Structure 1
Amino acid sequence: MSSSVEASEDNEELRKPFLHTGSWYKMRSRQSSLTGMSSSARILSDGSVSILLCVLIVSLGPIHFGFTLGYSSPTEDEIISDLRLSVSQYSIFGSLANVGAMVGSIASGQIAEYIGRKGSLMIAAIPSVLGWVVIATANDSSFLYLGRLLGGFGVGVISYTVPVYIAEIAPQDSRGRLGSLYQLSITTGTMLAYLFGIFVDWRLLAVIGALPCLLLIPGLFFIPESPRWLAKMGLMDDFEASLQVLRGFETDISVEVNDIKISVSSANKRTAISFALLRRKRYWFPLMVGIGLLGLQQLCGINGVLFYSTTIFENAGISDSKLATFLLGAIQVAATAVSTWLMDRAGRRILLMVSSWSMTVCLIVVAAAFYVQSSVSEDSNWYHVMAILSLVGLVAFIIAFSLGMGAIPWLIMSEILPIGIKGLAGSVATLVSWLLSFGITMTVNLLLDWSSGGTFTIFATMSALIVVFVTLFVPETKGRTLEEIQTSFR
């Protein structure tokens, strides 16, 4: 009887500092302390369910991310016709999402450090919704551009904050699996943009694009803040309460609490973080790995393919290019789901190696198909054979990318950056990613007009460089706590 009373008192102490995380958790903790707890309450008190709920809610952000990427592909012809834009003007529209994302990425690290991961996502969601509304009501290119910039800003903040939040709340044995849900959500958003783009016009498609962030805003009130951020800010009572909810009220968290306290003890929130710190190997090496992976992820041409896949299929002679684009998106979702299952089994390095090797081979096949196609008549059998081969090669490229290079660079970036410089270094790595993405999406239409075969030859070369980079520099992070990973760089 006495142990039951003590447990009840302990749970009561846990609930007091946790009121700020939302009434849902307050209600759940009260249910858990009752002797006659119902079966549904027992399920809710399990930490794995809490973490999964948190991940599903914040994954609405990357769904908006993916929808933004996919939006420009099925809408190109309609928007050009309705607003009388040139191809170059539409290329500007497509690439402005990257410009907005660059601005968002510059601010993302500092926003996430000063007001928390949840506050950062709230700041991302509001301009994202406004951006879609502006696009849906646009009557000229200027409003179209403004809406794209606003949505891109939200994407930039989301692209840093969501992987970091997931990595900081996930247990070490499931961090890879949960972290890869970020990329799965992006691919799902892209596929939905392709799917709805077949049936609705571009204005209604923009309205649909606003829905994920409209759902994210209220959802943020029902999830806890990152315990590691709370610890870094010195909010120790809130930190322990948040971690207890995430791990389950019956779980002993004392060892993990001590590990996190030791890790953040040297990172005082009042300490000025500057670029001078990046001269130390324990800081510049993980930053270099993060920048290298995120940069090469863009240079292999993935966003160029996703932004303008409909145009690429039209160039390849595919009659129903919108349907082919949707099927490409659906295959990407399926391949990313497989990657999610493999992440904590095979490990990060082996998946990156398999992914990058396969991407290189696929892009060489696509380049060769376009070279042959450009040298034969459109009425010849070879022309149609090469069209099918280029389609198969692109599908295989998307599958190969999704198996490793899609999710792992963002996951590793969130795992290896030390907590003391995570805001600054994460902003730099994310900025480089979006800067290169802007360059690719801005020039891919021009490159395709120049030479489809030459364009994919360039992308194949970049994919081959990924193999070299992973072999030389990328560490394995599977099965290690964030504190162990970051300590290893010392």
Structure 2
Amino acid sequence: MASEESRPLLGTNVEAELHAERPSQLEVYLSKVQNQNLYLATFAAVLGPLSFGFVLGYSSPAIPSLRRGNVPELRLKDSQASWFGSVVTLGAAAGGILGGYLVDKCGRKLSLMLCAIPYVFGFATIISAQNVWMLYVGRLLNGLASGVTSLVVPVYISEVAHSKVRGMLGSCVQLMVVIGILGAYVAGMGLEWRWLAVWCSIPPCFMLGLMAFMPETPRFLLSRHQRPEAIAALQFLRGPLVDHEWECRETEAHTEEQQELKIAEFKNPSIYKPFLIGVAMMFFQQVSGINAIMFYAETIFEEAKFKNSSAASVIVGSIQVFFTALAALIIDRTGRKILLVISGLIMAASAAVFGIYFKIALPTPNNFTHVNLAIPSLSVMVGTEQHPLAWLAVLSLGLFIMGFALGWGPIPWLVMSEIFPLRARGVASGACVLTNWFMAFLVTKEFHDLMVLLTPYGTFWLFSVTCLLNVVFTVFCVPETRGKSLEEIEAHFQRTH
């Protein structure tokens, strides 16, 4: 036991010596890197998150379309609409477990190619649906693919990217998700639910074709002792001008120390500390209420009596795309922690204001009874006319999305892909994705019940409090990973041993 304890300390000393020599070598190396093929590989990979975004955004325009549909077997009631929106998160939770297995056993590239299949089959099942259960099955398959995607893509990008652009490229995962959500919102304004499903099935087909020509990650290849293939991957990703052998040796020196992860190792701080941080970040991301808001954006605006709820949803989606892109551009300059803190504060303030809007817009307690609160539609409580402060609902929800896009949207996925040791990456990332999607299911499924139990304003004030807790957690627990190699980040947790 003593020898096992001393091994991380020895690795730390070696890392420290390497770090002392590394800056000049690294700067020379990065100055010769050509990023074109790296960007191409990243684009091929993030077609998965684009598909994932279409899945998330699909329910918002599809639910109203299905509710007013002409086929009685497919006309959704309130409880069925709730399941249609939230069952995708159960599939994604299962996808997190499956992805954790695939990413270690099959590799990053093949896992991405495989997850295109349930995307396409899921949308095909929805397109051909004859009853509500076929809709559920289609959404479940979409969720399974989304869960695998949300785990594998950040890992793939973090392992093919170098430290100078890893933050920007890692943030593109969330950027493509929100572009997909916006694409579903915009297309949903003109397409009924079947044709919308056809539109959403296109990106995974392109991903399958493009990924076939992209390399596996050098770190995974070296962990499988496939050194010639790793060199070839580096030649593709970095261009012909750099010393591929140098980066290969740097990575190889670390991967040679990796062994099969054992359960007993979770008592080692270099394993359990990043594991707890990753799981906690996924928990806090979802209890902010973001997925409930995005799944039901159009319904929220309808119940806020905003006249054109579809347009309001598109406005919110556009805000999310713009500020996620902004975060991707500045994250390698500002760092992760400061963006998380700013993000959490904006979300807390905007959720509180949205709660105030509902407090003002809802009738006073004297005008409705507990029976009214049990009625599924909030429109009974809000009334039939647009409230003069409806603009406040759009503004506050837009600010919430802006805050989320700046930090708590992209950064938890980025940090998850950075902080885990190579041998723990599959298992730990799988646990993070499972946590994220299980909490997404609970929040999304129980969102309506929360609105009834706590009232709409109480629900959004609860989200505001959880966003403040996000800030406290960030300040005291989340490490800064800006500008550090994956090996240096692992060494940081070993030094805290």
TM-score, structure 1 as length reference = 0.88
Give 1:443's match in structure 2, choosing from 435, 442, 446.
446
Given the alignment of the two structures, is residue 475 of structure 1 paired with residue 466 of structure 2, yes or no? Answer: no
Give the equivalent residue in structure 2 for 1:12.
Answer: none
Give the equivalent residue in structure 1 for 2:54.
Answer: 67
Q: Cα deviation per residue 1:33-72 (whole Å; 9 max; x = unaligned)? A: xxxxxxxxxxxx9730000001111111001111111111
Given the alignment of the two structures, is residue 141 of structure 1 paired with residue 144 of structure 2, yes or no? Answer: no
Give 2:102's match in structure 1, choosing from 108, 111, 135.
111
Asked if the contact 1:317/1:384 (under 8 Å) is kept, the reply is yes
Give the equivalent residue in structure 2 for 1:375.
Answer: 363
- Alignment partners' CA distance in 2, 1:210 and 1:323: 23
Give the equivalent residue in structure 2 for 1:426.
Answer: 429
Given the alignment of the two structures, is residue 204 of structure 1 paired with residue 204 of structure 2, yes or no? Answer: no
SS in 2 for 1:486: helix
SS in 2 for 1:75: helix
1:465 maps to a residue whose letter is: L
User: Structure 2: 5+ residue runs without aligned partners?
Assistant: 1-31, 368-380
Q: Superposition RMSD on alpha carbons, in Å? A: 1.7
Asked if the contact 1:259/1:483 (under 8 Å) is kept, the reply is no
Given the alignment of the two structures, is residue 344 of structure 1 paired with residue 344 of structure 2, yes or no? Answer: no
- Alignment partners' CA distance in 2, 1:438 and 1:287: 21
Given the alignment of the two structures, is residue 56 of structure 1 paired with residue 43 of structure 2, yes or no? Answer: yes
Asked if the contact 1:47/1:245 (under 8 Å) is kept, the reply is no
Give the equivalent residue in structure 1 for 2:248.
Answer: 257
Give the equivalent residue in structure 2 for 1:185.
Answer: 176
Give the equivalent residue in structure 1 for 2:185.
Answer: 194
Q: How does 1:263-342 map to 2 (within 5 A)?
A: 263-268=254-259, 271=260, 273-342=261-330
- Alignment partners' CA distance in 2, 1:197 and 1:57: 25
- Alignment partners' CA distance in 2, 1:68 and 1:396: 23
- Alignment partners' CA distance in 1, 2:80 and 2:40: 41
Q: Cα deviation per residue 1:55-91 (whole Å; 9 max; x = unaligned)? A: 1111110011111111111111221233122111111
- Alignment partners' CA distance in 1, 2:348 and 2:397: 11
Given the alignment of the two structures, is residue 79 of structure 1 paired with residue 66 of structure 2, yes or no? Answer: yes
Asked if the contact 1:373/1:383 (under 8 Å) is kept, the reply is no
Give the equivalent residue in structure 2 for 1:40.
Answer: none
Give the equivalent residue in structure 1 for 2:155.
Answer: 164
Give the equivalent residue in structure 2 for 1:123.
Answer: 114
Q: How does 1:212-251 map to 2 (within 5 A)?
A: 212-251=203-242
Structure 1 residues 112, 356: CA separation in 2 closer, same or farther (over 3 Å shift)? Answer: same
- Alignment partners' CA distance in 2, 1:411 and 1:343: 10
Structure 1 residues 312, 336: CA separation in 2 closer, same or farther (over 3 Å shift)? Answer: same
Asked if the contact 1:168/1:227 (under 8 Å) is kept, the reply is yes
1:247 maps to a residue whose letter is: R
SS in 2 for 1:222: coil
Deviation at 1:449, TM superposition (A): 3.9
Give the equivalent residue in structure 1 for 2:17.
Answer: none
Deviation at 1:383, TM superposition (A): 7.4
Given the alignment of the two structures, is residue 415 of structure 1 paired with residue 418 of structure 2, yes or no? Answer: yes
- Alignment partners' CA distance in 1, 2:124 and 2:280: 35
Given the alignment of the two structures, is residue 402 of structure 1 paired with residue 405 of structure 2, yes or no? Answer: yes
- Alignment partners' CA distance in 2, 1:298 and 1:347: 22
- Alignment partners' CA distance in 2, 1:279 and 1:403: 34
1:84 maps to a residue whose letter is: R
Give the equivalent residue in structure 2 for 1:456.
Answer: 460
- Alignment partners' CA distance in 1, 2:180 and 2:240: 34
Deviation at 1:329, TM superposition (A): 0.5
SS in 1 for 2:61: coil
Given the alignment of the two structures, is residue 98 of structure 1 paired with residue 89 of structure 2, yes or no? Answer: yes
- Alignment partners' CA distance in 1, 2:167 and 2:441: 28
Deviation at 1:487, TM superposition (A): 1.2
Asked if the contact 2:305/2:382 (under 8 Å) is kept, the reply is no
- Alignment partners' CA distance in 1, 2:236 and 2:172: 21
Identity among equivalent pairs (%): 38
- Alignment partners' CA distance in 2, 1:85 and 1:344: 45
Give the equivalent residue in structure 1 for 2:373.
Answer: none
Give the equivalent residue in structure 2 for 1:151.
Answer: 142
User: Structure 1: 5+ residue runs without aligned partners?
Assistant: 1-44
- Alignment partners' CA distance in 1, 2:300 and 2:382: 19
2:426 maps to a residue whose letter is: G
1:308 maps to a residue whose letter is: Y
- Alignment partners' CA distance in 2, 1:227 and 1:47: 16
- Alignment partners' CA distance in 2, 1:383 and 1:141: 32
Q: Cα deviation per residue 1:233-252 (whole Å; 9 max; x = unaligned)? A: 11111112211221111111
2:310 maps to a residue whose letter is: K
Asked if the contact 2:123/2:138 (under 8 Å) is kept, the reply is yes
Deviation at 1:254, TM superposition (A): 3.3
- Alignment partners' CA distance in 1, 2:248 and 2:86: 44
- Alignment partners' CA distance in 1, 2:180 and 2:76: 26
